[in-house]
């Protein structure tokens, strides 16, 4: 995934991402298309990853836990592959944060640090 590529939206906003590929339909209709299939698989993998994590958290047997962790890690790789495919097709884009937005978030987090129970 190339996160260095920038595009500009119709509204003039700079984004990280790619333009929507011609492989994806430009107009949504009632038919299930490649975008729908990939998004459906991605959603299913997200739910599976959450379920795996809950199971790992509650497992008693260490050997079984390690098997499930290995399976979860492979599932995470599959999830990442589907996400990267959708990103490369232009389905996912991210706004570029301005310096002011970043500073606002730093200020908010710094304020939250005073609430942490163990101060260093």
pLDDT digits (tens, 9 = 90+) for 50-91: 999 999 999 999 999 999 999 999 999 999 999 988 888 888
Q: Which helix (H) or strand (E) holds 7?
A: strand 6-8
Establish if 119 belongs to a structural domain: no
Establish if 114 belongs to a structural domain: no
Domain of 61, in residue numbers? 6-19+32-102
**The pLDDT value given to residue 119:** 66
DSSP codes joined into one string, 49-85:
HHHHHHHHHH---HHHHHHHHHHHHHHHHHHHHHHHH
**The pLDDT value given to residue 5:** 77
Establish if 40 belongs to a structural domain: yes
Domain count for the chain, please give it: 1
DSSP codes joined into one string, 15-29:
EES-PPPTTS-SS--
For residues 18 and 88, is the Cβ–Cβ distance under 8 A? yes
Cα 4 from Cα 19, distance rounded (Å): 13
The region that residue 85 occupies, defined by phi over 0 for left and psi between -120 and 50 for alpha, beta otherwise, is alpha
pTM: 0.67
């Amino acid at each position: 995934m190339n996160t260095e590529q920038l595009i500009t939206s119709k509204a003039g906003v700079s984004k990280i991402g790619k333009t929507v590929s011609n492989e994806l339909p430009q107009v949504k209709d009632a038919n299930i298309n490649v975008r729908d299939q990939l998004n459906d698989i991605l959603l299913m993998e997200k739910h599976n990853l959450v379920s795996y994590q809950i199971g790992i958290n509650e497992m008693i047997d260490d050997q079984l836990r390690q098997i499930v962790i290995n399976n979860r890690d492979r599932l995470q790789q599959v999830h990442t592959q589907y996400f990267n495919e959708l990103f490369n097709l232009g389905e996912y884009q991210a706004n570029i944060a301005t310096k002011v937005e970043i500073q606002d978030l730093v200020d908010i987090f710094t304020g939250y640090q005073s609430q942490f129970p163990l101060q260093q």
